Amino acid sequence: MAERWFFALWPDDAVRDALAARVTALLPVGARATHPSDLHLTLAFLGPLAPEVLGCAERSADRIRTPGFDLEIDRVGHFARARVLWCAPASPPEPLTALVSELQAQLSTCGLPADPRPYRPHITFARKAAATPVSAWPTPIRWSVRELVLAAGYGGPGPRYRVRRRWALI
C-alpha cells in the first residue's frame, strides 16, 4: 500500500487520552475503534505523492503563518455512507478555517488542488459503525492547538499513521 499523505492537527497525550476515554463508552457493537495513537483532525488529504511533490508540500507548510488557537471537541456524530463515527467542534473557530484556507492556498502552488467539498473538521474514532445521531457532549474536550503535522497512513494493524514532520503555529 502506498503512503497516503495528509496534513493534520495531532493531539497531545492529554487530549488523546481524554478522547480515547470518552469514545470508548460510545462504541457500538461491531464498530472498529481507531487506535488512540491515530486520533487526529485532518486539515488536507494529499494521497500518494512523488518525492518532489512531497518536498514541495513541506516547503508549503514552512510558509504557514497562522497563530495557534483553542479548539473545543463537543459533539459526536456519524457519517452514514462511510459508516464512520466522529467527534468534532460544534462551531469550528475562525483560526481553524483560516489555517485550512492558508494551507490549501500554499499547496496549490505544488499542483495539489483543494478538496471541492466544504471543509468538515472531525476526528474519526470508529469505522464500520451503525448510525449514531449527532449530539452534544455535556463537557467539551479542550485542545490547545499549537502545531500542524505532515503524516502518512500505512496499511496493517494500528497505529497506522506516522508523523513525518511538525510545524509550530505562531
DSSP helix/strand/coil, 34:
coil
Domains of the chain, earliest start first: 4-72+92-115+144-168 (3.90.1140.10)
**What is the pTM for the complete model shown?**
0.94
Quote the CA–CA distance of 13 and 121 in Å, as a whole number.
Answer: 20
Give the per-residue pLDDT at 138. Answer: 84
Alpha-carbon dihedral angle through residues 47, 69, 104, 46, given to the nearest 10 degrees: 0
d(CA 168, CA 149): 9
Question: Under DSSP, is residue 167 helix (H, G, I), strand (E, B) or coil?
Answer: strand
What is the tens place of the pLDDT at every residue in 49-107?
999 999 999 999 999 999 999 999 999 999 999 999 999 999 999 999 999 999 999 99
Instruction: Give the closest residue to 57 by CA, choosing from 10, 109, 119, 8.
Output: 109
Report pLDDT for 27.
85
